Structure 1
Amino acid sequence: MKAVQYRQIGKGPEVVEIDIPEPGPGQIRLKVTAAGLCHSDWFLMDLPEEQYSYGLPLTLGHEGAGIVDKLGDGVSGVDVGGAYAVYGPWGCGLCHACAQGAENYCPNAADLGIAPPGLGAPGAMAEYMIVDDPRHLVPLGDLDPVEFVSLTDAGLTPYHAIRAAQHKLYPGATAVVIGAGGLGHVGIQILRAISAARVIAVDLNDDKLALASEVGAHETLVSGPDTAARIRELTGGRGAEAVFDFVGAQPTLDMSREVVAIDGYIHIVGIGGGVLPTGFFSTPFGAAVRAPYWGTRSELQEVFDLARVGEVSVHVERYGIDDAVSAYQRLHEGTVRGRAVVVPS
């Protein structure tokens, strides 16, 4: 079968031929119908050799959906021929966090050698993939896998971050979304769907700001030296009750600190490498800084429910698997509008 793999440090993704995997006991094989690309893929492919720990070769793709093709021994509760999306942050399944469906915060996964698909385990950027346990499959129902596979990360991650700050998003409050790309444009829709807050979107790219307006941002601002002052002006000097930074670079984190309100929240979602000091002489009184990671299984179900009632959608660019390398290049260059999705067959 064809797969998109990272095979050599510093060389980027390649389309290769590998064997079709066989499911072991308790496992499920999916015939992949859609796989989403993510900046996290480039984050790990850009790591120097001394920091890379994901194994090689690595089949990419932590946003996956497919049709159940074959079951390993002992698997029940999953229908062969059924359409499912893959819940990506796999955990041990036994700890307190996993018992709540919060496998994204499993404290045992690393020690047990458990890794998410595409981020250590073989991922969805292939014609077939193996899912380790039925609990990591969420029924798609009538949702188009290509249109909605990105919700497994680009929807779930902002949803988790926003839900954790929802009590700050009361009528009259302001939420700032920094970065209106793959995650940010979905985050804006989630904010509009589950809160009454005014949404201000910030980005360097005019096309992404246009998309932010299309999906519901009340205000859009080009990022620059005066952006923080403009946000303060728009909020009557108060600042934003919640700031969601989907970039995470040092300049955007510095902006987050400048615009957050007293007792507000800064949620750092992007992995741009910045660091934000907090304390009495750095952030406003009461301001909380968090780095939420991915989301829970129940939250993924909620994101799909929002999609089913038309509250959330993803702007998708489709690519065949043979075009995956060029899609990754566009992602690296920042020219993808919304989310890039590979359709293997």
Structure 2
Amino acid sequence: MKALQYRTIGAPPEVVEIPTPEPGPGQVRLKVTAAGVCHSDEFIMSLPEDSYTYGLPLTLGHEGAGIVDELGEGVTGLAVGDSAAVYGPWGCGYCYTCSKGQENYCENAATLGITPPGLGSPGAMAEYMIIDNARHLVPLGDLDPVQNVSLTDAGLTPYHAIKQSLDQLVPGSVAVVIGAGGLGHVGIQILRAMTAATVVALDVNEEKLGLAKEVGAHHAFLSNAEAAERVKELTGGHGAQAVFDFVGIQPTMELGQAMIRVGGDQVLVGVGSGTLPVGMLDKPWESSIRAPYWGYRSELFEVLELARTGAIHVETEIFTLDDAPKAYEKLHAGALRGRAVIVL
């Protein structure tokens, strides 16, 4: 079968032929229909050799959807032909957090060597992929897999981040989204669908600011030295109740800190390498910094329901598997509008 693999440190991913996998006991083979391209892929492919821990060759793709193709021995609750999305942050299934559907925070995954597809385990950018357990497939029903596959990360991650701040986002509140790209433009829609907050989008790219307005941002400003003051002006000098940083580099983290209000939430979602000082005099009183990771399995059901009602959607640019390396080139150049999806 064909697959897109990262094979050499520092080199671009390659389309190669590899054996078609067979499901073992308890596993499911998925005939992949769509796979999403993510900045996290670019992040791990940019790591130097001494920091890279994901194994080579690595079949990419932690956003996946497909049709159940073959069931391993003992698998129940699924049928061949079912359309499903892949819940990516796999856990052990037995620890306390996994028992609550919070497998993204599994207590045993690191010890047991459990890794997400495309981020250690073979991912979705292949004609077929193995799902380690049937619980990691969430029914898509009548949802189009191509248009919705990215919700498994680009929807689930902002949903999880925003849901933890819902008590802040009351009528009259202001929520800031830094970065209106793949995750950020979905985050704006989630904020509009679930809260009464005024939504402010910040980005360095005018086209992405235009997209932010299209999907529901009340205000869209360039992310520059004046942005914090503009947010302060919107809030009578108080600042934002919540800042969701989908970039996570030093300038955006400092910008978020400059515009948060007393008791506000600064939520670091992006995988940039910025850092912030924390102390009694470093931030407004009672404010918090959170760094959430991905989302709960139950939350993926909720995200797909939002899509089913039309409350959220993902702007997608479609590529074939053979053209998948070009999708990563456009991602690196910042030339994608929304999310790239590989169609198989």
The normalised TM-score by structure 2 is 0.99
For the residue of structure 2 that corresponds to 1:241, the secondary structure is strand
1:21 aligns with 2:21: yes
Return the offset for 1:207.
0.6
Q: Which residue of 1 aligns with 2:77?
A: 77
The one-character-per-residue Cα deviations of 1:152-196 (angstroms, maximum 9, x if unpaired) are 000000000000000000000000000000000000000000000
Query: How far apart in 1 are the matches of 2:140 and 2:15?
Result: 27
Residue 35 (structure 2) aligns with: 35
Give the Å deviation of 1:247: 0.2
Structure 2 residue aligned with 1:154? 154
Moved more, 270-279 or 213-222: 270-279
Tell me the equivalent position of 1:55.
Answer: 55
Q: Does 1:92 align with 2:92?
A: yes
CA distance in 2, matches of 1:97, 1:12: 36
Question: Partner of 2:110 in structure 1?
Answer: 110
Taking the aligned partners of 1:332 and 1:272, their CA distance within structure 2 comes to: 14
**Which residue in 2 is equivalent to 1:189?**
189
Identity of aligned residues (%): 65
One-letter amino acid of the counterpart of residue 165, structure 2 = A
AA matched with 1:27: Q
- Residues 216-269 of structure 1 show CA distances to partners (whole Å, capped at 9, x for unaligned) of 000000111111111111111010000000000000000000000100000000
How far apart in 1 are the matches of 2:21 and 2:332? Answer: 29
1:134 partnered with 2:134: yes
- How far has the Cα of 1:278 moved from its partner? 1.7
Secondary structure of the structure 2 residue equivalent to 1:5: strand
Matched, 1:328 2:328: yes
2:280 maps to 280
Q: Give how far 1:279 is off.
A: 1.6
Matching residue's letter, 2:153: D
Aligned pair count? 344
The structural deviation recorded for 1:335 is 0.6
SS at match of 2:322: helix
The letter of the residue matching 2:162 is I
Corresponding residue for residue 250 of structure 2 = 250
SS in 2 for 1:244: strand
| Matched AA of 2:76 | S
What TM-score do the two structures reach when normalised by structure 1?
A: 0.99
Shift of residue 301, structure 1, vs aligned partner? 0.2
Cα offset for 1:282?
Answer: 1.1
Q: SS of the residue aligned with 1:237?
A: coil
Could you tell me how far 1:81 is from its partner in structure 2?
0.4
Give the AA of the match of 1:159. Y
* C-alpha distance in structure 1 between counterparts of 2:275 and 2:90, whole Å: 27
- Structure 1 runs of 4+ aligned residues shifted over 2 Å read none
Distance in 2, Cα, partners of 1:265 & 1:154: 21
Residue 225 of structure 2 is matched in structure 1 by 225
CA shift for structure 1 position 284: 0.7
Instruction: Give 1:213 deviation, angstroms.
Output: 0.2
SS in 2 for 1:263: strand
Q: 2:230 aligned with 1:207, yes or no?
A: no
Distance in 2 (alpha carbons) for counterparts of 1:139 and 1:332: 32
1:251-266 aligned within 5 A: 251-266=251-266
1:290-311 alpha-carbon deviations (Å, 9 max, x no partner): 0000000110000000000000
CA distance in 2, matches of 1:12, 1:237: 47
Write the deviation string for residues 124-171 of structure 1: whole angstroms up to 9, x where unpaired: 001000000010000000000000000000000000000000000000
Using the alignment, how far apart are the partners of 1:12 and 1:42 within structure 2? 10
1:59-81 CA deviation, whole Å, 9 max, x = no partner?
00000000000011111111100
Provide the secondary structure at the position in 1 that maps to 2:257: helix
* 1:280, distance to aligned residue in structure 2 (A): 1.3
Map Cα deviations across residues 273-326 of structure 1 (whole Å, 9 max, x no partner).
111222212111111000000000110000000000000000000000010000
1:179 has 2:190 as partner: no
Q: Which blocks of at least 5 consecutive residues in structure 1 are unaligned?
A: none
